[in-house]
């Protein structure tokens, strides 16, 4: 299946997307039939333990893309362009190509009108692009906090305009993050490409989640919209306690 085939498949059903940052997770998700796997700059938080995504570098994204690529055979593999990696059009194209060389089939960058020339340049270079509007994690320092978007008529209109210019430029899908559900639904109805929501209600044509949130593997911070479907952190904690007890017990061994 080609990249174009995978992108075309996203239009057939609701898009199921998850993040991955390592080989075993990527392979498990791919074998589960996940449509789109994102090597997200969220790795700065849930993998590296930083307070936000802005410390993530291109070298880190390239490394994680490389190892995730080894586990992916069927899903569309997309990688984030990290903070300050697309400050100029030239940087956007160069760094997008670096991610493709590492194994990504497409890249994602944050913003609409503000980055449209960079989006067009990356697309013109032959690289597929996913858009990302609404709450932009890379803009956290400028905005001061994570805020729901689309609460005012003006903000909703700006989001719709961002989505339309991205579609016109040729992105294959747009992530809608932390957008008022009614506004996310309106944007979805206005477009002919998939919208992939995260904290944007059920009116999008797909949804993405951070795999650590899905698996309950990052108990120190739980986004209000996250829905854990497992308790990996608790399971690992119990396993570590049991292992420690076995090793410390006189005469016990953990191996046959």
Q: Which residues are catalytic?
A: 177
Q: Are 107 and 80 in contact (CB under 8 A)?
A: yes
8 Å CB contact between 204 and 176? yes
Alpha helical stretches, state H, 1-57: 3-9, 23-31, 43-46
Q: Token digits for 50?
A: 């930083």
Structure tokens that stand for 128 in this block: 């597929």
Dihedral of alpha carbons 57, 88, 184, 158, sign: positive
Q: How many helices (H) and strands (E) does the chain have?
A: 11, 8
**H or E stretch at 79:** strand 76-80
174's enclosing H/E stretch is strand 173-177
Burial of 125 (C-beta count, 10 Å sphere; 0-12/13-18/19+)? middle
CA separation for the pair 23, 235 (Å, rounded):
21
């Amino acid at each position: 299946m080609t990249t174009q085939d995978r992108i075309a498949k996203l239009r057939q059903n609701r898009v199921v997307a998850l993040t991955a940052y390592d080989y075993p997770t990527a392979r498990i998700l791919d074998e589960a039939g996940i449509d789109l796997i994102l090597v997200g700059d969220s790795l700065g938080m849930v993998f590296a333990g930083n307070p936000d995504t802005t410390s993530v570098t291109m070298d880190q994204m390239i490394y994680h893309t490389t190892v995730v690529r080894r586990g992916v055979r069927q899903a569309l593999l997309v990688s984030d362009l990290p903070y300050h990696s697309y400050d100029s059009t030239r940087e956007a194209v160069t760094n997008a190509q670096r991610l493709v060389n590492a194994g990504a089939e497409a890249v994602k960058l944050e913003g609409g009108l503000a980055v449209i020339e960079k989006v067009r340049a990356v697309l013109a270079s032959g690289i597929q692009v996913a858009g990302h509007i609404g709450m932009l994690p890379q803009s956290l320092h400028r905005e001061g906090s994570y805020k729901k978007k689309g609460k005012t008529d003006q903000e909703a209109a700006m989001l719709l305009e961002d989505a339309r210019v991205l579609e016109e430029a040729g992105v294959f899908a747009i992530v809608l993050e932390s957008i008022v559900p009614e506004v996310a639904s309106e944007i979805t109805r206005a477009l002919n490409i998939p919208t992939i929501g995260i904290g944007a209600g059920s009116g999008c044509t797909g949804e993405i989640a951070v795999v650590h949130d899905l698996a309950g593997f990052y108990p120190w911070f739980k986004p209000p919209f996250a829905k854990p479907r497992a308790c990996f952190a608790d399971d690992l904690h119990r396993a570590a306690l049991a292992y420690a007890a076995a090793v410390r017990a006189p005469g016990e061994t953990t191996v046959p």
